[in-house]
Amino acid sequence: MAPADKVPVTVLTGFLGAGKTTLLNHILTEQHGMKIAVIENEFGEIGIDDALVLDAEEEIFEMNNGCICCTVRGDLIRILGNLMKRRDRFDQIVIETTGLADPAPVAQTFFMDDEISSQLRLDAIVTVVDAKHLVQHLDDHKPEGVENEAVEQLAFADRVLLNKVDLAADENELIEVERRIREINAIAPIVRTSHGKVDLDRILDVGAFDLDRVLADDPEFLDPDAEHQHDLSVTSVGIDADGELDVGKLNEWLGWLLRERGVDIFRSKGILSVAGWDDRYVFQGVHMLIDGRTDRPWGPGEPRTNKLVFIGRNLDRDELEQSFRACLVA
For residue 11, what is the DSSP state? E
CATH of the domain at 275: 3.30.1220.10
Chain-centre distance for alpha carbon 72: 15
On whether both 248 and 148 belong to a single domain, the answer is no
State whether 15 and 118 are in the same domain.
yes
On whether residue 192 sits in a domain, the answer given is: yes
pLDDT digit string (tens) for 259-314? 888 778 777 778 899 999 999 998 877 666 777 888 889 989 889 999 888 877 77
More confident residue, 193 or 145: 193
Burial of residue 206 (number of CB atoms within 10 Å: 0-12, 13-18, 19+): middle
Q: How far apart are CA 156 and CA 142, in angstroms?
A: 19
Residue 202: count of CB within 10 angstroms of its CB? 15
Write out pLDDT tens, residues 109-147: 787 778 888 899 999 989 999 998 888 888 887 777 667
Same domain, 134 and 258: no
pLDDT 10s digits, 8-51:
999 998 877 788 888 888 887 877 777 888 887 654 443 444 44
**Same domain, residue pair 197 and 245:** no
Residue 73 belongs to a domain: yes
Do 206 and 245 lie in one domain? The reply is no
Domain boundary among 173, 192, 217: 217
101 lies in the same domain as 168: yes
Residue 159 has pLDDT above 70, yes or no: yes
Alpha-carbon distances of 261 from 160, 198, 266, 315, 316, rounded to whole Å = 29, 33, 10, 9, 10
Give yes or no: residues 118 and 194 share one domain: yes
By residue count, the chain amounts to: 330
Q: Does 224 fall in a domain? A: no
End-of-domain residue from the set 175, 190, 217: 217
Q: What are phi and psi for residue 308, nearest 5 degrees? A: -135, 150
Choice between 329 and 2, residue whose per-residue pLDDT is larger? 329
For the entire predicted model, the pTM comes to 0.65
CA atoms within 13 A on the CB side of 45: 11
Q: Do residues 181 and 301 share a domain?
A: no
Mean pLDDT of the chain: 79
Question: Does residue 151 sit in the same domain as residue 9?
Answer: yes
Residue 58: which pLDDT band, with cuts at 50, 70 and 90? very low
CA atoms 198, 21, 121, 149: torsion sign: positive
Q: Does a structural domain hold residue 222?
A: no
Q: Is residue 109 part of a domain?
A: yes
Shared domain check, 243 and 212: no
In a domain, 223, yes or no: no
Kindly state whether residue 320 falls inside one of the protein's structural domains. yes
Q: Does residue 13 sit in the same domain as residue 161?
A: yes
CATH for 111: 3.40.50.300
Q: Residue 167: is its pLDDT beyond 70?
A: yes
Instruction: Give the burial class of 304: count Cβ atoms within 10 A of its Cβ; 0-12 exposed, 13-18 middle, 19 or more buried.
Output: middle
Q: Same domain, yes or no, for 184 and 246?
A: no
Which structural domain range is residue 45 located in? 3-217
Domain total of the chain:
2
With respect to residue 228, please indicate whether it lies within any of the assigned structural domains.
no
Task: Examine the fold and report which residue of 163, 187, 217 is the final residue of a domain before the chain moves on.
Answer: 217
